[in-house]
Each structure stands twice: as C-alpha cells, then as structure tokens.
Structure 1
Amino acid sequence: MMLLKMHGANTAAVLGKKLGITGEAVRQQLVRLNEEGLVASYSQSRGVGRPSQYWDLTPLGHSRFPDTHAQLTVQLLSSVRDLLGQEALDTLIAARENQTRELYSAALNQSDNLSDRLHRLAELRTAEGYMAEVEVDKNGTFLFIENHCPICAAATACQGFCRAELNIFRELLGSDVKVEREEYILSGDRRCTYSVQRPDAH
C-alpha cells in the first residue's frame, strides 16, 4: 500500500520488482487487499499484446494513511467560523502560517542552493506526514511532491490552509524562484505537486 501511495497505480510485476519479490506474490497480497476494499484493479492497454492489470488505492485505502485528528479538526474549524466569523478563522490560519514559516526558515537558511533547500524542506514535510520528495523533470525543473496530506479533512473544509502552504513555499524558496502548483489532491489528483524553478534556469 505504501508503494501505491508513493508512486500511484502500477502492475503487480513492477511492484514486485520494487519490493524484491515475485509479481505473483504481490498479486496475491493485492487480491487480499482488494477483498478488504483497500485497492482496486483495472486493465490498461499499452501497444500490442494483452492489456496489463493495474492496481491502485481506493478511497478507503487512502484513508488508512493518517489524517491528523480529522473529525475533531473539521468540527473546530466549523465552530470558529460559525461562532466567531470568517475573519477569526483567517486570523487562526495566518497564525499557523507564521509559526510554520519561522520553523522552516530556521532550517532552510543554512543553504543558498535551491536543490539543498528543497530536499531539506522535503525532510521537514515528511516528518509532518506529507511523504514529500523532490524530483527533476526532463527540462531540469524541480518537482516538489507531497504524496499524502495529513490535514486533508481540514484543508477540504477550509482551503485557506492550502493557500498558506503555497505562500510559505514561495517566500522561503526566494523571490527569484517560481513556484506553481501542478497537481492538487483536492482537485482529485493523487498527490500535490509543485514545479520549482528559477526564471533563468533554462
């Protein structure tokens, strides 16, 4: 399940290769997880030959990964909005944003190298449950990837958390760095992905 969470849908053979076991052994585990409603399979054709069977997490499977105090958080956010108003909720989010910015800034200011800063940020986010990683695409653009959102329920109830996250990334990585969200869990994507590059990088 961790591989499917980190890398998305895949075949049993590919998953087996990553795990160092046979594809058949993986398929047996996937069938068991399918019976529990945690994964689902579908066929996909790629060129000639018979279609390949791909496996992916179901919504129930995704829910097995921690969403920190989801129900309580949503209830509290709703109560703040209902009792104190949207402005109070915005103030709450801004305070959290400032705390996060200070924490990250202390860790990232140790390097001026963009790659080093991104990898350090990924370490910080992973420690918070985001399963973050850094990749470089074929054009040399950095991709900052978060494979899980531990506050997804809260973010769904109040997308101000997501706006604050993007603001923090842009501020901490530097005014000369362009940060754009390319994939977004709340839009139905498997993960949140940000492209990160300096305008003069190409």
Structure 2
Amino acid sequence: MSTPVSAADRTLLVRLNRRSRAGIEELCEDLGVTATAVRQRLSRLSDAGMIDRQPVKIGRGRPKHLYGLTADGKRALGSNYQELADAMWSALSEVEDERTRSFLFGRLQDTLVSRYGGDSVGKGALRERLAGLRDALQVHGFTVEVDDSGPLPVLREHHCPYLDISEDDPQICELEQKVFERVLGTGVVLTRCCRDGDSCCEFTPDGSGLTQLGSVEAEVSR
C-alpha cells in the first residue's frame, strides 16, 4: 500500500529511525511539540502500519511504551518516487525511434491497467467498475472519489498525481485517460484537469464501448 506522508509525519519517522525506539517524552523533546500532538501522529502512523510499539517494564508501575518503525515505515522514509518517475518519463519521451517509444509507452499502459484493474478489467456494471477503480487508486495513495449525483458518474481526482510531469508534457494526461478507459471498458472524457488550472481532474465515462486491448506487442509487430 502506498500512503502519503506529511512533512511533520516524515520528521517523526526520521527521529524514530535515528533512535531505533523512543517514548513519547523523547519524541516531544526531539520535535518540540506537545504530547498530544505526538500521540496524534503516532496514532495516524500506527493506523497506516508504519510504526509499532513495545511495552518496556521500568521498575514498578505501568510499563512504558517505546515506538519504532515497521518495514513499511522504513520504506516510506526512503521513498522519493516522484523524482524517479520524472526521470523515467523524461527518458521515455526522449527515445527517438517512434516504434520503440510507442512500444515502451504501451507497456507502461499495460502495467497500469493491470495494477488498477487486475482481473476485473471491463467486468460488471459501469458503476461497479468505477467503484473498483476508485478503490484501487485509493490503495495506491490517490485522493479520489466517484460522484454519482449527476446524470453520468464522475471519477474525481482531488490532486494530480503527475503534476510536475503534466506541466511539461500533456501526454501523461492522455496515458491516464487511456488506462482508465481500458479498466472501465468504455470511453472516458477528461472534463476537468489540474493542468488547465482546475482544482481537480475529472473523468466522465461516455458510455461508448471499447475493445479491450491486450499487450501492445501485437500492435508494434504489425
């Protein structure tokens, strides 16, 4: 699971990583915040599976709890995927051979379809497919919802997951749109876009049928 980490939470994770394990008092001293603030961050990170706690008996009385990073916490602390994604996208875009570039972008599309659709690609009623896509995106850290209040359901992303890339290259928006079309098995219209200054990105299924595409290897080999 990919869980967004705020700057304040990351600071706490860094402190815990340096100390190996620490109690609330030590973290208050390190961070310069109240015990209430520390407990709130610890609770949030514990719910996300990034930290655990161990009771330690010190003399008489109730045991003291020491907190430490889990494997997920260490992974979150070491993650800087945005920089890597920007570099990889730039490298793909600069491939000069058109057939090779098309093949590589197609393989990327295949990977994202598999990640967000899995075995349910194009199956079930449209609203069920939208709900499944929403759930898959949320698992991967997207802030997304399905708005079913209008005549057509809308998949709404409350922040652009590829903002830095999209500012320089609108192809990333087209890629995401095509991935959603394949997962949903229907045409999708990008009706609002953060790249255009909107506060969110909205994808509206238009109801047109799509032939589910397999791997692009068949396309490239024509």
Task: State the TM-score, normalized to the length of structure 1.
Answer: 0.53
> Which residue number corresponds to residue 182 of structure 1?
191
**CA offsets 1:125-170 (integer angstroms, 9 cap, x no match):** 11222211101233x2101111122222233333322212111222
Residue segments in structure 1 that go unaligned for 5+ positions in a row? 1-66
Gap change, CA 1:151 and 1:89, over 3 Å in 2: farther
The CA distance in 1 between the partners of 2:183 and 2:156, in whole Å, is 16
Which portions of structure 1, spanning 4 or more consecutive aligned residues, are displaced by more than 4 angstroms?
Answer: 79-82
Q: Would you say how many aligned residue pairs link Structure 1 and Structure 2?
A: 130
Structural RMSD (CA): 2.9
Is 2:151 aligned against 1:154? Answer: no
Is 2:204 aligned against 1:195? Answer: yes
Indicate if the aligned counterparts of 1:107 and 1:120 stay in contact, CA closer than 8 A.
Answer: no
Residue segments in structure 2 that go unaligned for 5+ positions in a row? 1-78, 209-222
Gap change, CA 1:134 and 1:107, over 3 Å in 2: farther
Gap change, CA 1:150 and 1:106, over 3 Å in 2: same
The CA distance in 1 between the partners of 2:156 and 2:80, in whole Å, is 19
Is 2:108 aligned against 1:96? Answer: yes
Q: Between the two proteins, what is the percent identity of the paired residues?
A: 19
The CA distance in 2 between the partners of 1:120 and 1:156, in whole Å, is 28
> Which residue number corresponds to residue 49 of structure 1?
none
Indicate if the aligned counterparts of 2:92 and 2:104 stay in contact, CA closer than 8 A.
Answer: no
Task: State the TM-score, normalized to the length of structure 2.
Answer: 0.49
Indicate if the aligned counterparts of 2:189 and 2:206 stay in contact, CA closer than 8 A.
Answer: no
Instruction: Name the SS for the 2:180 alignment partner.
Output: helix
Gap change, CA 1:68 and 1:147, over 3 Å in 2: farther
Indicate if the aligned counterparts of 1:142 and 1:197 stay in contact, CA closer than 8 A.
Answer: no
Larger Rg: 2
- Displacement of 1:68 after TM fit? 5.8
